[in-house]
Structure 1
Amino acid sequence: MTDRSTPRALRMAQPLARDVMEEVAKQHGVCIRPVPLKRLDTHTGQWEIIDVPCGSPMDSKCPPCAKRNKQLRKAQCREGWHLDKEPTITPDQPNEEQCWLVEFRADIQAQRDDTERDGGDTTDLDAVIEGLDEEINAAGMRGSIFGRATAKRSRSTRRRQDAPDLPKRTMTHTSLGQTFQAPDGRTYRPSLFVTLTLPSYGKVRDGAPVDPDTYDYARAARDALHFSKLVDRFVQNLRRVAGYDVQYFATVEPQKRLAPHLHMAIRGTLPRAEIKQIAAATYHQVWWPSVDQVVFEGEHLPVWQEGAGYLDPDTGEVLPSWDEALDELDAEPLHVIRFGDQVDVKGVLAGTKDADQCIRYLSKYLTKSLGDGLDSQARQEHAARFVEALRYEPCSPTCPNWLRHGVQPKDAKAGMTPGRCRSKAHKPEHLGYAGRRVLVSRKWSNKTLAEHKQDRRTWVLEALGKTDEPTDPHRYVWKPVPAGDANVPPLAMRLLRSVRERQRWRAHMAELQARAEGQDLSATEGRAA
């Protein structure tokens, strides 16, 4: 306890007890933001409070959970990079609920068709069908059995004249890539590590523009917003040129200048010149309404009217809907995004130091936000200007910023205000990039992240001498704990319990390891004797 005679300045310098508790939890790998859940054991009828890790992938929120997520991603990358057997993915058989929903949907559709043929009102049946379609789409099935809800607008598929052509190989049904036989009889299965960047927006020194007034912030903002689409198109072009089902593990990270760039581990190999040719030929066109003219701003904004949408505050006319605005598009897209000239391609062999180094590099920034690490005043000011450039830039068809240009956002609703979009892309820590930070193809390691987590759990249980027995999925019932529930102990007490449990687990692991090392030493001494 602190003596009351201790000077106030010294007491103020002492760490807070909660901060010390969190630091101890971090050192022992315990989640510092556990989520309490109530669990009912249907066999015994007993309720208990269980702390579930928050699972955050960000260091800024929970370093222990972020570290575990990072280790899982590293394991996922390592297992899939140099596979020598074709992964097999067998879809699950449809369950009773999925089959029943589809059959019931067919019955309702037949009733609706009969009613329409007889001249009756189909409004109620249409509402039922709409609800069933939502349930079917949420019932754990990939894709849609009903096809596209609306007709896709036709756009010219002719390649742009300012983009080089792409070669094309005959597609083969494999995802492993080519092997090479060495003169000594050894077989090598090389892979690639590729880094792709965006073009220059102005001269930069130490991560900040030399001349902020000439730096193209508008183009940088749009490129960041649509970077994920450019990556998707690169993968499509890569598979077309490679001639096989290319598999990849990629991460998106910020460059020092704050522009997103891509690191990609690719299974199999292609000539470096072809990779660079594919990057140069890859582009993405954004077919959106024009944003050259600002129609409404400041206090002069469209007015919401229930049942009609947003109205022009001067004339009272309804603003063009998103679909109507797309119908009026010109022949040129709003924006075309391309990669820059800097393309780094590196060959990698399995089991080498280069492979381990690349895996570490891929996971290096996974626990950091895109806006972290602004280590100078110039970079902080650069980030502030970049965020301001993003503020009024439309990030998606549903973005409120379309109101500024006289267009109703898709699925418009009351309360939308330009410059106050709640999308991930407009948050300062994301710097315009709203896509996933980790991109993994379906046949990469032939496992989901949950399966990799289960592998890790199985290994730990085996090391502890326990078996991972299957649990009856219907045995436990989980429920959220209401805020302020008196049955939930204080956070400090819950963290202490978790730390103590981790200490016991580590002590047991250390004992087993020491026992194994002792057995190995005895066996070695016996052989020597």
Structure 2
Amino acid sequence: MSTPTDATPAVVDHDQLTRAQKALLALTGDVARQLAEDHGVCVRPLAMRRIDLTTGRVDVVPVPCGARREDLCRPCAEKNRRLRMAQCRQGWHLEEEPVPARPDPTAEQKQLLAARADLHAAYQAARADGDDEECEEIRETVAELDDALRAAGVTGRLEPLDPPDKPARKRSTRRRQDAPNLPRRPVENRTVGRVFGGRYRPSTFLTLTLDSYGRVDNNGAALDPDSYDYRRAARDAIHFPKIVNRFWQNTRRCVGWDVQYFGTVEPQRRGAPHFHAAIRGTIPRAELRAIAAATYHQVWWPAHDVQIYSGNHLPRWDDRAKGFVDPDTREPLPTFDEACEDLTRPAHVVQFGTQVHVKGILGGTEEAGRHIGYLTKYLTKDVARAAGIDDNATERMRAHHRRLVAELRITPCSPRCPVWLLYGIQPKGARLSTTPGQCKGKAHKAEHLGIAGRRVLVSRKWSGKTLADHATERAQFVRQLLDKAGVRPGYAVDDGPFEWERTKPGDPDVPTRPALLLSAISERQRWKADYEAAQLVASSQLPEGAAA
């Protein structure tokens, strides 16, 4: 027979419980959070004021946080993952061009641009004569013309009146002698793939990996950490987005059509990034492997192999020099641009490894859906957890992870990175608040493993829609279904117009977090009931024998 201390009674009398027994009870916030996750409701909603500009009514409503990681908010992360799956599915096996051709310029657009051309010439003449007053008047007029051009439907970069103070440094575009050459074909203005057999239009699934840095075990941990090239691994991870971008440039030039892709950057077990991509249309396997082997990215940065400063011996800010100086000699450190002036060789070269996986996929098949799920599988996890660095990681994996992170923390991630000061170079934008060796960039953080950019890379003509457009489509589908079934939600509000306002901590009209969760859960239950009712009505309206 159990005693009162062994189990909690069915009806809990809190006054009769000890402190140890109360510690075993569920907290209200935990119950509300778990209930919200069960209903797919954001667990950390933002309280926003919604002001109806017609009636003046003010409501404090919960707005989803929009987190993309499940450790922050599982429902929002899963919602974003499913939205990415829909985006991938819609653009992968298209049979028609998703983006129509640009329209011909109108007479108004050409007239405005001609006027801007005359003003540009007049500005150069006034600038040469030193007439500052005339230059200022022309600048104001050109600014108005630019606004008119935008309003007339013209996009793209407009040539500035004032040339840049310092021309951009140009380097040779000649290919490296150790890289194989690629054929270059004229790029056709099409994005859809070829049809085979008069009816099949397959597409491609591609995986690109980086080179090996040393032997690893089955969990991805280095077998010999002393010989594992952590420095090259860290630099490859930081510059990985650049080589992926260069790969697509080479692919379009080589195959001769505007290749479109939906790709995700994910970590391998060893911590190195690799790239999965769904490509619309087919490209021969041998051609993709040749493109990957010939693709490289040269990092034209100052050499940063030998660390000059460390510990307490760090550069100091000097107000008179308006920059950082050596702590011993008080000599100003060279700027990033000065250190780049006499470069004869790149500081690092990123190249893909030999493992290139290519597979043809037919649209509408189970295999296509499985690969879409594989593409988006780890989007809800941070990079370290996706690489297996979690509670179940072995000690060797953790040690491997620590050594990689330690190398990432002393690897510059951009020309503005404060880590450059450890190598005796002033980064761009250095100021008094810059702390040598301390960069806030994501590339240096343990949970990112050098992958600081976007995890999802989508070409511009993938589906002809932005991610917000896909989200709007999903919402419109539900509204159309409700309207068609004649279901009028009782909680529906007017279409506004509304004005949204952020709330502040301590505002008396802002509910507590559990109250916001319960309100969102109640609303989600009503949504679900109305949607299911609309589905029943729609299915009953189908003709007899038609599939639902």
TM-score, normalization by structure 1: 0.88
Q: CA deviation at 1:434?
A: 1.0
Residue-by-residue CA offset, 1:290-340 (whole Å, 9 max, x unaligned): 1123222222222223472212222323221221111122x2100001111
Aligned to 1:179: 195
Partners in 1 of 2:355 and 2:263 — Cα distance? 17
Q: Are the equivalent residues in 2 in contact too, given 1:112–1:122 (CA < 8 A)?
A: no
Partners in 1 of 2:430 and 2:96 — Cα distance? 49
Q: Helix, strand or coil for the counterpart of 1:356?
A: helix
Aligned to 2:508: 486
Match of 1:71 among 82, 86, 93: 82
Q: CA deviation at 1:412?
A: 1.2
Q: Are the equivalent residues in 2 in contact too, given 1:283–1:337 (CA < 8 A)?
A: yes
Percent of counterpart pairs with the same letter?
47
Aligned to 1:430: 448
Aligned to 1:42: 53
Aligned to 2:432: 414
Q: CA deviation at 1:103?
A: 9.8
Q: Helix, strand or coil for the counterpart of 1:39?
A: strand
Flag the 1:90–1:36 CA change in 2: closer, same or farther, 3 A: farther
Partners in 2 of 1:135 and 1:303 — Cα distance? 45
Q: Helix, strand or coil for the counterpart of 2:15?
A: coil
Q: Are the equivalent residues in 1 in contact too, given 2:299–2:347 (CA < 8 A)?
A: yes
* Structure 1 position 162 matched with structure 2 position 162: no
Matches within 5 A, 1:130-209: 143-146=156-159, 149=164, 150-181=166-197, 186-205=198-217, 206-209=219-222
* Structure 1 position 297 matched with structure 2 position 310: yes
Q: Are the equivalent residues in 2 in contact too, given 1:223–1:337 (CA < 8 A)?
A: yes
Structure 2 residues without counterparts, runs of 5 or longer: 1-11
Q: Which amino acid in the other structure matches residue 211 of structure 2?
A: P
Q: Which amino acid in the other structure matches residue 523 of structure 1?
A: E
* Structure 1 position 523 matched with structure 2 position 544: yes
Q: Are the equivalent residues in 1 in contact too, given 2:119–2:138 (CA < 8 A)?
A: no
Q: CA deviation at 1:127?
A: 12
Q: Are the equivalent residues in 2 in contact too, given 1:177–1:244 (CA < 8 A)?
A: no
Partners in 2 of 1:155 and 1:328 — Cα distance? 12
Partners in 2 of 1:312 and 1:31 — Cα distance? 51
Residue-by-residue CA offset, 1:480-508 (whole Å, 9 max, x unaligned): 21222111111111110110111111122
Q: Helix, strand or coil for the counterpart of 2:249?
A: helix
Flag the 1:50–1:180 CA change in 2: closer, same or farther, 3 A: same
Matches within 5 A, 1:440-459: 440-459=458-477
Flag the 1:16–1:260 CA change in 2: closer, same or farther, 3 A: same
Q: Helix, strand or coil for the counterpart of 2:522?
A: helix
Partners in 2 of 1:272 and 1:105 — Cα distance? 48
Match of 2:62 among 25, 47, 51: 51
Aligned to 1:214: 227
Residue-by-residue CA offset, 1:384-403 (whole Å, 9 max, x unaligned): 11111111110100000111
Q: CA deviation at 1:187?
A: 1.3
Partners in 2 of 1:316 and 1:240 — Cα distance? 51
Flag the 1:248–1:7 CA change in 2: closer, same or farther, 3 A: same
Q: Aligned pairs, how many?
A: 514
Matches within 5 A, 1:220-259: 220-259=233-272
Q: Helix, strand or coil for the counterpart of 2:311?
A: coil
Flag the 1:479–1:125 CA change in 2: closer, same or farther, 3 A: farther
Flag the 1:426–1:448 CA change in 2: closer, same or farther, 3 A: same
* Structure 1 position 325 matched with structure 2 position 325: no
Aligned to 1:382: 400
Match of 1:310 among 324, 332, 339: 324
Residue-by-residue CA offset, 1:372-427 (whole Å, 9 max, x unaligned): 13232221221111111111110100000111111110111222223321001111
Residue-by-residue CA offset, 1:111-168 (whole Å, 9 max, x unaligned): 8975873566999999999x99x999x9999653236844221212111111111122
Match of 1:27 among 33, 38, 45: 38
Q: Which amino acid in the other structure matches residue 498 of structure 1?
A: A
Flag the 1:257–1:141 CA change in 2: closer, same or farther, 3 A: farther
Residue-by-residue CA offset, 1:264-308 (whole Å, 9 max, x unaligned): 000111110111111111110000001123222222222223472
Partners in 2 of 1:297 and 1:141 — Cα distance? 52
Flag the 1:367–1:287 CA change in 2: closer, same or farther, 3 A: same
Aligned to 2:9: none
Q: Are the equivalent residues in 1 in contact too, given 2:126–2:134 (CA < 8 A)?
A: no
Q: Are the equivalent residues in 1 in contact too, given 2:210–2:273 (CA < 8 A)?
A: yes
Partners in 2 of 1:21 and 1:135 — Cα distance? 50
Aligned to 1:80: 91
Match of 1:498 among 520, 523, 535: 520
Q: Are the equivalent residues in 2 in contact too, given 1:247–1:266 (CA < 8 A)?
A: yes
User: Which range moves more in the overlay, 454-463 or 150-159?
Assistant: 150-159
Partners in 2 of 1:495 and 1:403 — Cα distance? 47
Q: CA deviation at 1:13?
A: 2.1
Flag the 1:4–1:213 CA change in 2: closer, same or farther, 3 A: farther
Aligned to 1:475: 497
Flag the 1:164–1:508 CA change in 2: closer, same or farther, 3 A: same
Q: Are the equivalent residues in 2 in contact too, given 1:290–1:334 (CA < 8 A)?
A: yes
Flag the 1:248–1:297 CA change in 2: closer, same or farther, 3 A: same
Flag the 1:89–1:16 CA change in 2: closer, same or farther, 3 A: farther
Structure 1 moving runs of 4+ over 4 Å: 89-94, 102-116, 118-129, 138-143, 471-474, 515-520
- Cα root mean square deviation, aligned: 3.7
Q: Helix, strand or coil for the counterpart of 2:276?
A: strand
Flag the 1:158–1:51 CA change in 2: closer, same or farther, 3 A: same
User: Which range moves more in the overlay, 220-229 or 291-300?
Assistant: 291-300
Match of 1:358 among 362, 368, 371: 371
Q: CA deviation at 1:229?
A: 0.3
Q: Are the equivalent residues in 2 in contact too, given 1:83–1:176 (CA < 8 A)?
A: yes
Partners in 1 of 2:541 and 2:172 — Cα distance? 71
Q: Are the equivalent residues in 2 in contact too, given 1:112–1:126 (CA < 8 A)?
A: no
Q: Which amino acid in the other structure matches residue 311 of structure 1?
A: V
Partners in 2 of 1:462 and 1:65 — Cα distance? 24
